[in-house]
Amino acid sequence: MKVLKNIRIIILLAAIVLSLLLISPNPWPAGVKITYVGENLSSKLQPGEILYAINDMPATQDTLSKEYRGTVKFETGSGVKFASVDGRIDMAATGADPTKLKFGLDIKGGTRAFVKVNSSDPDMVAQVISTLQNRINFFGLKDASFRQVDRNYVEISMAAGRPDELKTLIEQQGVFEAKIPILLSVRNNKTQLRLENPHNISVEGGGIRLGEKSYAWGSVISIEGVDIELSGMANGMLNMSSTVFTGDDIKTVFSDPQRSRIQPVEGGGYVWSFAVQLSSDGASRFAKITKNLDVVPGSRESYLSSQIYFYLDDSLLDSLNIVSSLRGREETEISITGSSDSIDESSKERARLQSILRSGALPASIEIVQADSVSASLGEEFLKGAVLAGIAAIIGVVCVVTIRYRKFKIILPMVVISLSEVLIILGISVLIGWTIDVAAVAGIIAAVGTGIDSQIIIIDQAVRKERTESMREKLRDAFFIIFGAGGTVIAAMLPLMIIGFGALRGFAITTMIGVLAGILITRPAFGAIIEKLIKD
């Protein structure tokens, strides 16, 4: 047991124990991992949480698909939580992870998209990535990851969701506008627009004259901070469209049950709504414009003569009547509504719009180059193949070493050191938050391959009898070769790590981690073991 007192062996054992603690293997994990949470549950549960039980029943896909009424009990990794549910739980989940290892999309499956940012400015690309991250996180897909793979290309991957959902969420620029049409009666080619101050307007042949300037039909003019588009004349009325507020004026998007709800309607379908808080400037523009609207009496309620229209990227979302009591008032809280055929569609459409309004408009337009699903079965088959190939390689090396050196006692240390090298690489990946994808697995195989080469060099130097050097001198010569070879590999990987993108960079980083772990931890320990075995 003297070998266990060697400092190199102690460092190896400490690295193995630390790696096991970091990886935290659990072959039979309980519960499910939440990947998506609907807006009505987002204040209670979060993506990434482990859900163990629902109403004291083990959390499975079957219990998630059931319908519930009233208060539901959720047992999670962060404690017991309660939420009100009416119908199916608006949540998606996968099996709990058996380790803390983070696997890439090409192994665990999911949805992936490649996005082109129509700008080569690095700051603009960074702002687009930040906005998309916020938008997807607000939607409830917090397992999404972003990776810049070129100057203006970004890879988005997430374990949950479908390609069509991801495309719908990110492809929109997110420019939100609320507009109110204005109809002004024209007499003798003259009319007046009343904001804080009256503005006299003269109608000319191809447009209007305001003050000393003339504007053609279709022009957008700014009056007292309000953008107004000149639409034209019809039936003696001057038609204009005013932008009363935009996405920049939305300060808060409410998601609490009192101000964010879904209700069934007679005849089928559902109406969803949520409230937003406006800036003082947006409320002021609303008040200025509604001064110019007439009150239309109704049997139950009186409304103003124009509706307010909500647009997202120039597409009409919805239009609402404006109650007469809001005429000329600076209203800072308004409701945005919409409708869908099912409660599930209503929930997702509401969450999508809330996410876009919370994250804001993209600073540059984007194009979705590709969006697809990646099957988890392909990654599983690849991992199985990699493990089988590794086992076959180890068996082959063991056979060659046995035939060449005929020393069975060095076989077990070789296998143990090779496996410990893989374990340490995986532990470091958890420590630095690195994702294990196909490229990383290839890097691990490459690192272990160089490790076996180093072990054979150590054995070959140690057992050679034609040299009169001491064992320490033989191992010194072996490690001179090993450190030189390791430095060569790292030098070859550095360019890939610095200028490479995507899979190349992942392969380079994983290979360098494996080589460094080998020459600093596992190979010195193997040298100490071989020194002891050969002497004995």
Considering only CA atoms, which of 271, 349, 340 is closest in space to residue 312?
Answer: 349
Cα distance between residue 418 and residue 447, in whole Å: 10
Considering only CA atoms, which of 218, 219, 220, 178 is closest in space to residue 316?
Answer: 178
Considering only CA atoms, which of 397, 428, 410, 389 is closest in space to residue 518?
Answer: 428
How many alpha carbons lie under 13 Å from residue 8 in its C-beta half-sphere? 18
Which H or E element spans position 115? strand 110-117
In this structure, what token pair is assigned to residue 184? Answer: 């002004």
348 within some domain = yes
- Do 491 and 475 lie in one domain? The reply is yes
At residue 402, the 3 state secondary structure works out as: helix
428 within some domain = yes
267 within some domain = yes
Last residue of some domain: 193, 220, 247?
247
At residue 71, the 3 state secondary structure works out as: strand
Q: In this predicted structure, what is the pLDDT of residue 530?
A: 85
Last residue of some domain: 305, 325, 358?
358
Last residue of some domain: 217, 247, 277?
247
In this structure, what token pair is assigned to residue 53? Answer: 């039980």
- What DSSP state is assigned to residue 49? P
Considering only CA atoms, which of 69, 98, 96, 82 is closest in space to residue 43?
Answer: 82
Question: How many residues in total does the chain contain?
Answer: 536
One-letter-per-residue 3-state SS of 183-247: EEECECCEEEEECCCEEEEEEECCEEEECCEEEECCCEEEECCEEEEEEEEECCEEEEEEEEEEH
- Do 37 and 74 lie in one domain? The reply is yes
Q: In this predicted structure, what is the pLDDT of residue 162?
A: 67
At residue 335, the 3 state secondary structure works out as: strand
- Do 273 and 317 lie in one domain? The reply is yes
- Do 142 and 10 lie in one domain? The reply is no
pTM comes to 0.61
105 within some domain = no
At residue 426, the 3 state secondary structure works out as: helix
- Do 253 and 309 lie in one domain? The reply is yes
- Do 91 and 146 lie in one domain? The reply is no
Cα distance between residue 322 and residue 493, in whole Å: 65
Which H or E element spans position 473? helix 471-499
The range of the structural domain enclosing residue 133 comes to 110-173+367-374
- Do 50 and 120 lie in one domain? The reply is no
Cα distance between residue 496 and residue 502, in whole Å: 10
User: Which residues 6+ apart lie within 8 Å of 109 measured at CB?
Assistant: 159, 373, 374, 375, 376, 377, 378, 379
| Exposed / middle / buried, residue 29 (Cβ in 10 Å: 0-12, 13-18, 19+) | middle
278 within some domain = yes
- Do 227 and 284 lie in one domain? The reply is no
Q: Is the dihedral of CA 164, 165, 166, 167 positive or negative?
A: positive
Cα distance between residue 317 and residue 201, in whole Å: 32
Q: In this predicted structure, what is the pLDDT of residue 432?
A: 86
Read off the CATH number of the domain in which 43 is found.
2.30.42.10
451 within some domain = yes
- Do 389 and 486 lie in one domain? The reply is yes
Considering only CA atoms, which of 426, 423, 428, 488 is closest in space to residue 454?
Answer: 488
Residues of the chain where predicted confidence (pLDDT) is lower than 70: 1-4, 38-40, 42-43, 138-143, 159-162, 374-379, 465-468, 500-503, 536
End-to-end CA distance of the chain: 12
16 within some domain = yes
- Do 384 and 453 lie in one domain? The reply is yes
At residue 470, the 3 state secondary structure works out as: coil
Q: In this predicted structure, what is the pLDDT of residue 271?
A: 83
Under 8 Å between Cβ of 343 and 229? no
- Do 9 and 38 lie in one domain? The reply is no
Domains of the chain: total: 5
103 within some domain = no
One-letter-per-residue 3-state SS of 118-157: CCCCHHHHHHHHHHHHHHHHHHCCCCCEEEECCCCEEEEE
What are the tens digits of pLDDT across the range 193-220?
988 888 999 998 789 998 888 999 999 9
Q: In this predicted structure, what is the pLDDT of residue 494?
A: 86
- Do 155 and 257 lie in one domain? The reply is no
Cα distance between residue 183 and residue 527, in whole Å: 89
